[in-house]
Structures are given as structure tokens and as C-alpha cells.
Amino acid sequence: MSRKKVTIAELLEKKQNQQKITMVTAYDYPTARILDQVGIDTILVGDSLANVVLGYESTVPVTMDEMLYHCRAVARGVNSGFIIGDMPFLSYQVSHEKAVENAGRFIKEAGCDAVKLEGGSDMASTVRAIVRAGIPVCAHIGLTPQTATMLSGYKVQGKNAESARKLIQSAKDLDEAGAFMIVFECIPDFLASRITGDLKIPTIGIGAGKDCDGQVLVYHDLVGLFDRFTPKFVKQYINLTPMIKEAIAKYKADVEAGKFPGPEHSFSMDKQEADKL
């Protein structure tokens, strides 16, 4: 029996009942099907796509069209998971009009249930504008990879009292602006715990400790399909790369030795018909 679609109310209820929310990224149909069949609550089509699928050095170059293409593939594989499309760099910063228009494309053209965007208090009015258009927004604060250069690199945020206070204020402003959930990336566990306790909306951590209302990992990190760099917060549950390499090497050897395909992979023809040729 297929599960019912996960709703924002259920995510909120999970927080209230102290049940953890699960989130994993997906960028294609087969992965989306696996996550959905396992019962992952929220499936994020992250702009981490830029790194782990498209091979870019950062998330900055990925475009709206690339994000929508991958969101559509994910949506085709999902029945019940709540799908969040990640708004790429400069798709929401230029103006509220542009932000609403682009957010709308994730919903109308790509089958997403919500969008995610990076930024703190400065982005609150943008979140408000998108929410006013009827589109649920997940916020993302702490280490915000799209603007990592402004943060002087991929560093833990909120380590001193001043920057921690800014993050506390950002979370409050984004909540008031109508965000239904907030991702915390790379902030001290004490701070994540404190903000999670203060907020009514659920928080999702990645490198933010165990007290967030839920956790997210990038699929390719979780299953060992990306080895260019591995942040401290990643837990690899399986290392698929060597297993896949071994399988491909066996296939290569079989083809080269004439062992594949065997008769069981081939189609026969009636001898009578063959003789007519």
C-alpha cells in the first residue's frame, strides 16, 4: 500500500511529538524512488547537484533550468515524500518579483511541494513575498554555500556570541516571515539546540548536532558516491564506489574474454528461418 503524501502539518506534528524528521537529497528518478520507498519524509533536490552530479567546484553555476530538469525527474519517482526544490544562486536575490516567479516554476513546472533558499534576516522579505504567493518556503542559515566567498570559505558559523546572536535573530525573522522549516548548516550544536527550542517550526540540521528536529545528508555522501571532499558532519552508511568499480571491471573483463553475453542473455531464431537467409 502506498503511503499518503507527507504534509507540512505532519512535519510540524513530528516536531511537537519529538519525532525526528528525515531528509535526504535526490537528483534523479531511481534515487527518488529508493528514498520514497524507504519512507524518507522530505526529499531535497539540493543545489548540491552542482557538486555531486554536475561536477562543478561550487553550487554557484547551477541554473534554474538545470534545477527544474532534475526536480521533474525526482517528482516522477516520488509518491509520498515532501519534495523541496532548492532555488539556485541569483534566482531569488534580484527582486521579489523574480523570486516569486522562479519559486512558482518549481511548483508549476517541476512538481515540487516547496522551495528552499539560503540567507538570514536579509532574506526575510523575500520569504514573505514567496509565501504570500502561496508557495511554502524552507529557509537555510549558517553556512550558506552559495555565498561561501562572503563567509570567507566553508566554515562553521555562529561560533562567537555576536554571530550566534545574528543567527538567532535570522531564525526568528524567517519564522515570522512564514518559512515552514529551517535548515541549519554547520553551526555549533549548542546554538542549534537553543534555536530549535525557541522556534515553533521544525529545524533540520546538517553539521548542527543531534537536537535539531530532523537531519539531512547529501545522498552521494551517505552512500559513498562522492569522494572529492568529505565534510566532518558526513556519515557514510555504505561505500558504493568500490562496489560499482568492481562490478564494472568484471563486466569489462567478461566482454573482453567473450564471456558476456551468454546464451541466457541472447535471442534465438528458428533454424528454418535462419536457413532462408
**Catalytic sites, residue numbers:** 185
Quick one: which segment of 46-54, 171-179, 222-230, 234-242 binds ligand KIV (CB under 6 A)?
Answer: 46-54
Shortest Cβ distance from residue 148 to ligand KIV (Å)?
12
Q: Which of 218, 222, 223, 225 binds ligand KIV (CB under 6 A)?
A: 218
Q: Which amino acid is at 211?
A: D
* Length reported for the chain: 277
Residue 206 contacts ligand KIV per CB under 6 A: yes
Neighbouring CB atoms inside 10 A of 22's CB total 19
Residue 221 contacts ligand KIV per CB under 6 A: no
Shortest Cβ distance from residue 140 to ligand KIV (Å)?
6
Residue 75 contacts ligand KIV per CB under 6 A: no
Residues 173-202 that bind ligand KIV (CB under 6 A): 183, 185
Are 85 and 49 within 8 A, CB to CB?
no
H helix intervals, the chain: 8-16, 29-38, 49-52, 64-77, 96-108, 124-132, 161-176, 189-198, 219-222, 240-256, 271-275
Quick one: which segment of 8-16, 45-53, 123-131, 195-203 binds ligand KIV (CB under 6 A)?
Answer: 45-53
Residues 95-134 that bind ligand KIV (CB under 6 A): none
Residue 215 contacts ligand KIV per CB under 6 A: no
Q: Which is nearer to ligand KIV, 228 or 265 (CB)?
A: 228
Shortest Cβ distance from residue 158 to ligand KIV (Å)?
16
Residues in CB range of 5: below 8 A, 6 or more apart = 79, 80, 82, 113
Q: Which is nearer to ligand KIV, 71 or 218 (CB)?
A: 218
Residue 86 contacts ligand KIV per CB under 6 A: yes
Among candidates 224, 226, 202, which has minimal Cα distance to 214?
Answer: 202
Shortest Cβ distance from residue 52 to ligand KIV (Å)?
8
Joined grid coordinates for residue 180: 515552514
- Omega before 242 cis (within 30°)? no
The SS3 call for residue 83 is: strand
Among candidates 31, 23, 133, 137, which has minimal Cα distance to 75?
Answer: 31
Residue 25 contacts ligand KIV per CB under 6 A: yes
What's the CA gap between 139 and 11, in Å, rounded? 15
Which residue has the closest beta carbon to ligand KIV?
46
- Using CB under 6 A as the criterion, which residues of the chain lie in contact with ligand KIV when the complex forms? 25, 44, 46-48, 86, 140, 183, 185, 206, 216, 218
